[in-house]
Amino acid sequence: MIGRDILGIEDLSREDIETILETAERMQEIGTREVKKVPTLRGRTLINLFFEPSTRTQTSFEIAGKRLAADVVNFSVADSSVSKRESLLDTAKTLDAMDPDVVVVRHKVAGVPHRLAEVLKAPVINAGDGAHEHPSQALLDMLTVREQKGQIEGLTVTIIGDIAHSRVARSNIYGFTKLGAEVRVAGPPTMLPAQIESLGVKAFTNLRDAIEGADVVMALRIQTERLEGACFPSVREYAATFGLDRAKLRFAKEDAIVMHPGPVNRGVELAHELADNRPSVILDQVRNGVALRMALLYQVAGRGGH
């Protein structure tokens, strides 16, 4: 049974993940209606608490809440550098006094949603914490793969990029391995954590080997502004070695799909031609994100607030 909070894929069982995906598959139908709203969370309040800007995830949660008829409040906090811990708990107390039914949290420090979950009466959904987890992104990725491939068990999923600093990679590794896929990760050695294979994945520094026979190829966003000079010599060299284009994709299965959590650095981790066309399913991921977040809100909002 799904717990009160959704903090990470690591905490979810295979059964929990499947329940969430099945719920999301039902929610997709609501998005095809003319009136895209059901009364399920009428009178409930969702607070989007974003300490780190994220237009996409925040908008997706906002639309999801509104389609379930919840009142959605966006609470964006510019991170103050002074005494983070104190200000965080102050914020939490302030929020609690407003009696929300669910709080969606993003923070650049890993573990903040967990800390808030201990303090708040309302259930907490992690919308990304540092380099730790981004559960709703991984779940929408799994939903998209299931939609495209029919099932996840037995597939080969290759994730390319900065595996060491990516919460999307970590959540997807937990999720896809729990559902029985073979997960491979690829990137320059500086971007592959030393113990990564202990998570049940295979690590590659050669892109061709990593892609060979894959059903799903997922390129991660390279944080060019943060990492240049730190993990690889230049953006251009990364693009040449690990950037995905049609030529490199030929090593994957013929019907392989290409995924990306967005926003895409065109010409860096993904070539233009792949960003816009099949086999890329990037816009399906965005569409599925709303249905998946509706499923999460349906499962937790209003629970445990008593």
Partner 1 sequence: MRMAHEIVESADGLDRLYLVAIPNGGVPLGRILVENLESLTGVHVPLGILDTTLYRDDLAIRGSRPQLRRTEMPSSVDDRVVVLVEDVVSTGRTIRAGMDALMDFGRPSHVRVVALIDRGHRELPIKIDYVGKNIPTQYDDKVILHVEVADADEAMIENEAGGEPQAKVGELRIVVRTGQAGRPPESPHREPAETREAGA
Select 11 or 212, whichever has its Cβ closest to partner 1: 11
Contact stretch for partner 1 (CB under 8 A) within 19-27, 48-56, 201-209, 251-259:
19-27
| Least distance in angstroms from the C-beta of 19 to partner 1 | 8
Decide: is 108 part of the binding site for partner 1 (CB under 8 A): no
Nearest-approach distance from CB 96 to partner 1, in angstroms: 20
Q: Of 27 and 88, which CB lies nearer to partner 1 in the complex structure?
A: 27
Instruction: List Cβ<8 Å contacts ≥24 apart for 13-19.
Output: 13/178, 14/178, 14/179, 17/139, 17/142, 17/175, 17/178, 17/179, 18/179, 19/299
Closer CB to partner 1, 27 or 64, in the complex:
27
Alpha-carbon gap, residue 302 to 121, rounded angstroms = 10
Q: Which of 131, 154, 145 is nearest to 220 (CA)?
A: 131
Q: Judged by CB under 8 A, which stretch of 48-56, 106-114, 118-126, 296-304 contacts partner 1?
A: 296-304
Which is closer to partner 1, CB of 38 or CB of 73?
Answer: 38
Interface residue with partner 1, options 123, 243, 261, 302 (CB under 8 A): 302
Residue 14 interacting with partner 1 (CB under 8 A)? no
Task: CB nearer to partner 1: give 22 or 276.
Answer: 22
Answer for the pair 92, 124: CB distance below 8 angstroms, yes or no.
no
Residues 22-81 that bind partner 1 (CB under 8 A): 22-23, 26-27, 29-30, 33-35, 37-40, 68
Q: Rule CB under 8 A: is residue 299 a binding residue for partner 1?
A: yes
Alpha-carbon distance of 124 to 133, in angstroms, equals 14
| Residue 140 contacts residue 292 (beta carbons within 8 Å) | yes
Nearest approach in angstroms of CB 38 to partner 1 is 4
- When the beta carbons of 67 and 170 are compared against partner 1, the nearer one is 67
Binding site residues, partner 1, CB under 8 A: 1, 19, 22-23, 26-27, 29-30, 33-35, 37-40, 68, 298-299, 302-303
